[in-house]
Chain A
Amino acid sequence: MPSTDTMFPTRSSRVQSPSGVGFNSYLYQIRDLIYQIAGILQPDHRLEFLEKRCQKRMAVVGAGSLRDYYDFLTRSMNRTSELTELLNEITIGETFFFRNLPQIEALRKVVLPAVAENKRRFPFSRLRVWSAGCSTGEEAYTLAILFLEESEGMLKNLKLEVLATDLNDRSLEKARAGVYGDYATRNLSAYLQEKYFTPAGNLLAVKDTLKSIVQFSRVNLLDDSKMIFMKNMDVIFCCNVMIYFDGVARKKVVQHYYNNLLPKSYLFLGHSESLFGINDQFRLVHFPGATAYYKSEQARGGL
């Protein structure tokens, strides 16, 4: 078990990391600061990554050392906006359309038909999917494409909504712009490219039909005051976001997901993520090549 010393080491000098590479003690202070303010934990194996991100920002603000940068983050007039900039650097992730195919197939073949069937009993129903930690929007637009492809089929007469949130302003900006290169669009068939995108030079720009059902907003998943408003979800996607949180924060976020989901709804996590030890209210269900967590009709009390 790591002692408190290795998690939050003394600030005196350079500290040995487990790999034997020493990191500046101010890097640990910056790590603590990020954790205290945003709840995002940078484990030891990510310290090198954190150092690189800090260096990138140091060049921009003209800080000569990690110590100077730490002072800038804590004392300068621009400390709040600089912290946001740093968070943007840390949470940026590259992804692409139709990334996890078994998950998408499970959604298309099992989850959407089941959810739509439940809705059919009520007129003017709404189908709401939340892409939590949407990064640059590929997942959110993928969901929107799935919706629109079924809008005359099994999702007919339903109001379709994709809510997409992230902490990173720059990612959100890129998501709203909806312009993507080869990497992001490599899994898109020619048919879907033609139907939902317009060429913009070498890039592809998302058409308004797709944009109209996706709503992007900045949400910190640890901000209770915002989380309680993300209500009435039918499906939540939260892929590769939890890695940034520690145990306590994970429990909190997943509890919010549980509360915000309607009965008979699903939570999808990233390929290698598990709710083991985090939440036992959901039920793990298996699809061919994919898993999800199911919230049943009645919340189970206690057990």
Chain B
Amino acid sequence: MAILLADISRKISDLDNIPTVPALLVPLLRRLGEPAEKVSVAEIVTLISYDKSLTAQCLHMANSPLLGMRNRVETVQGAVMALGMTKVREVATTCCLLRALPARRGSLQPNDLWKHSLACAMVSREFARKVGFADPEQAYLAGLLHDLGLIVELTTFPKEFEAATHVAIAKRCPIHEAERLVLGVNHCVIGEMLAERWHLPSEMKEVIRHHHDVDHASTAAVLVSIVSLTDILCRMRGLGYGFEEVRQVDLSSEYAWKHIGEGLPKMRDFDLARFTLEIDAYIEEVERLVTTLFDLA
């Protein structure tokens, strides 16, 4: 059932025309590398406002307790004023990405992938803060986007991907290994192809490409490591793909610690057991947010 790379490439170019991908997503993602101040507020506000359900989603998320707003935000313009461009861009990217998921139902429910992505975004940011990584907001976006390849697979190769999930469940192995067995390629490679086409910043590309083989990460090794460990942790705390993959993980053997340990001195004060527990606090909020966002879509 192996997929040819040329096939993927062709389908990825078709993806641009898929109506479920909001017009705003690609321009937003392309500009992730730019400082938030440089992004035109007016342009973003206009683009969001064109799409009623996207507006509703953004406002809902902007008012979520996660962002710690004191007063309710009623308009996109108001959200920009109250939250600042960095947060609004984050909210808009989050909502846009959700729309890119097909409603098709298989072993991996779009709802679960969405929860996993959002959880990884939030936990990566918290992890980044805890270990003293310079740009926690970048970690949020990296966590959000790391499984971009899965969206491509769900959209363009649903049958083949479904077969891979069956293997993952039966063999109780991680999904990226099952993909390799069944498809000959995994969501890291496929995700990178889309990231390439969408001209995502190089560090996002690296996260998408190497979050399952961290030892190959280069310039963004610390960021890749943060997302990689967060990904595993979320999957062990009920914020995974909605099915059981592996039953035991020894995180201490992960290569990612090398990058983080070398790059971040605050790592020495990091209590992994306690942090694992703190992830549970996100479960309820992620569920609530995703359910409402889905209803608004």
What's the least CB distance linking B256 to chain A, in Å? 14
- Which of A106, A271, A277, A286 lies in contact with B251, CB distance below 8 A? A286
Interface residues of B in 221-238 (CB under 8 A from A): 232-233, 236-238
Interface residues of A in 275-292 (CB under 8 A from B): 275-277, 283-289, 291
Residue of B nearest to A293 (CB): B273
Residues in chain A near residue B244, CB distance under 8 A: 288
Quick check: B238 and A288 within 8 Å, CB to CB? yes
Answer whether residue B247 sits at the interface, using C-beta atoms and an 8 A cutoff: yes
Residues from 156 to 202 in B contacting A, C-beta threshold 8 Å: none
With A and B bound together, what is the CA distance between A284 and B233 in angstroms?
12
- Number of residues in B with C-beta < 8 Å to the partner? 18
Residues of chain A contacted by B277 (CB below 8 angstroms): 271-272, 274
In the assembled complex, which residues on chain B have CB atoms less than 8 Å from the CB atom of A110? 247-248
Q: Is A141 located at the chain interface by the 8 A CB criterion?
A: no
Query: Which of B248, B249, B250, B271 has the most A CB atoms < 10 Å from its CB?
Result: B248
Pick from B232, B237, B238, B272: contact of A284, CB below 8 A. Answer: B272
Residues from chain A with a CB closer than 8 A to the CB of B236 are 286-289
Which B residues are within 8 Å of any A CB, using their own CB? 232-233, 236-238, 244, 247-252, 271-274, 276-277
- Using Cβ atoms and an 8 Å threshold, which residues of chain B touch A284? 251-252, 272-273
Q: Nearest chain B CB to A291's CB is how many angstroms away?
A: 6
Contact B273 A274 (CB under 8 A): yes
Q: Of A274, A276, A289, which one neighbours B238 at CB under 8 angstroms?
A: A289
CB-nearest residue of chain A to B232 = A286
Assess the B274–A276 pair: CB atoms within 8 A: yes
Query: Which residue from A275, A277, A288 sits with its C-beta under 8 Å from B247?
Result: A288
Q: Please state if A286 and B249 are interface contacts (CB–CB under 8 Å).
A: yes
Closest to A114 in B: B248
How many angstroms from the CA of A285 to the CA of B232 in the assembled complex? 12
Question: Quick check: is A147 within 8 A (CB to CB) of the other chain?
Answer: no
A109 on the B face (CB < 8 A): yes
Contacts of A286 in B (CB 8 A): 232-233, 236, 248-251, 276
Q: Interface size of A by Cβ–Cβ distance < 8 Å?
A: 19
Complex interface: chain B residues within 8 A of A289 (CB): 236-238
Q: List 10 A-B contacts (CB under 8 A).
A: A106-B247, A276-B271, A284-B252, A284-B272, A285-B249, A286-B233, A286-B248, A286-B251, A289-B237, A291-B276
Bound-state Cα–Cα, A274 to B271, Å:
8
Task: List, in ascending order, chain B residues with CB within 8 A of A287's CB.
Answer: 236, 247-249
Residue-wise, chain A 250-291 has the 8 Å CB interface mask toward B (1 for contact) of 000000000000000000000111111100000111111101
A98 at the interface (CB under 8 A from B): no
Q: A294 contacts the other chain (Cβ, under 8 Å)? A: yes
Measured between beta carbons, the chain A residues less than 8 angstroms from B247 are 106, 109-110, 287-288
Q: How far is the CA of A202 from the CA of B286 in the complex (A)?
A: 42
How far is B264's CA from A174's CA once the two chains are assembled, in angstroms?
A: 51
Say whether B248 contacts A274, CB under 8 Å: no
Question: In the complex, which of the residues A274, A286, A288, A289 has the most CB atoms of chain B within 10 Å of its own CB atom?
Answer: A286
Which single residue of chain A is at the shortest CB-CB distance from B240?
A288
A283 to B248 CA separation, bound complex (whole angstroms): 12
Q: Is the CB of A275 within 8 A of B250?
A: no
CA distance A291 to B236 in the complex (A): 9
Q: Tell me how far the C-beta of B122 lies from the nearest C-beta in chain A, rounded to whole angstroms.
A: 18
Which of B232, B233, B272, B273 counts the most chain A CB atoms within 10 A? B273
Is A294 touching B250 in the complex (CB atoms < 8 A)? yes
**In the assembled complex, which residues on chain B have CB atoms less than 8 Å from the CB atom of A294?**
250
Q: List the 6 shortest-distance A-B pairs measured between CB atoms, nearest first.
A: A274-B273, A276-B271, A286-B236, A286-B249, A110-B248, A274-B274
CA distance A274 to B269 in the complex (A): 13
Q: How far is the CA of A109 from the CA of B248 in the complex (A)?
A: 10
Tell me which residues across on chain B come within 8 A of A288, comparing CB atoms: 236-238, 244, 247
Rounded to whole Å, the gap between the CB of B221 and the closest CB of chain A is: 23
Measured in the bound complex, the distance between the Cα atoms of B205 and A223 in whole Å is 56
Closest Cβ of chain A: how far from B276's Cβ, in Å?
6
**Once the chains are docked, how many angstroms separate the CA of A294 from the CA of B251?**
12
Q: Which residue on B lies nearest to A296, using beta carbons?
A: B250
Does B276 lie within 8 Å of A283, measured CB to CB? Answer: no
* B112: min CB distance to chain A, Å: 14
Please, how many angstroms separate the alpha-carbon atoms of A277 and B250 in the complex?
19
What are the residues of chain A within 8 A of B233 when measuring CB–CB? Answer: 286
Give CA–CA (A284, B274) in the complex, Å: 11
Residue of A271, A285, A288 with most partner-chain B CB within 10 A:
A288
A-B contacts besides A106-B248, A110-B247, A275-B273, 7 pairs, CB < 8 Å? A271-B277, A274-B277, A276-B271, A286-B236, A288-B247, A289-B238, A291-B276
Q: Which residue of B lies closest to A294 (CB)?
A: B250
How far is B248's CA from A294's CA once the two chains are assembled, in angstroms? 11
Chain B residues with CB under 8 Å of A274's CB are 271, 273-274, 277
Specify which chain A residues have a CB less than 8 angstroms from the CB of B250 in the assembled complex: 283, 285-286, 294
Whether A276 and B273, one on each chain, are in contact in the complex, defined by CB atoms closer than 8 angstroms, is yes
Which B residues are in CB contact (< 8 Å) with A275? 273
Q: Specify which chain A residues have a CB less than 8 angstroms from the CB of B252 in the assembled complex.
A: 283-284
Give bound CA distance, A274 to B272, whole Å.
8
Chain B hits for A109, CB < 8 A = 247
Does B237 contact A285, Cβ atoms closer than 8 Å? no
Q: How far is the CA of A179 from the CA of B282 in the complex (A)?
A: 38
Instruction: Give A36 to B262 CA distance when docked, in angstroms.
Output: 43
Contacts of A285 in B (CB 8 A): 248-251
A276 to B277, CA, bound (A): 13
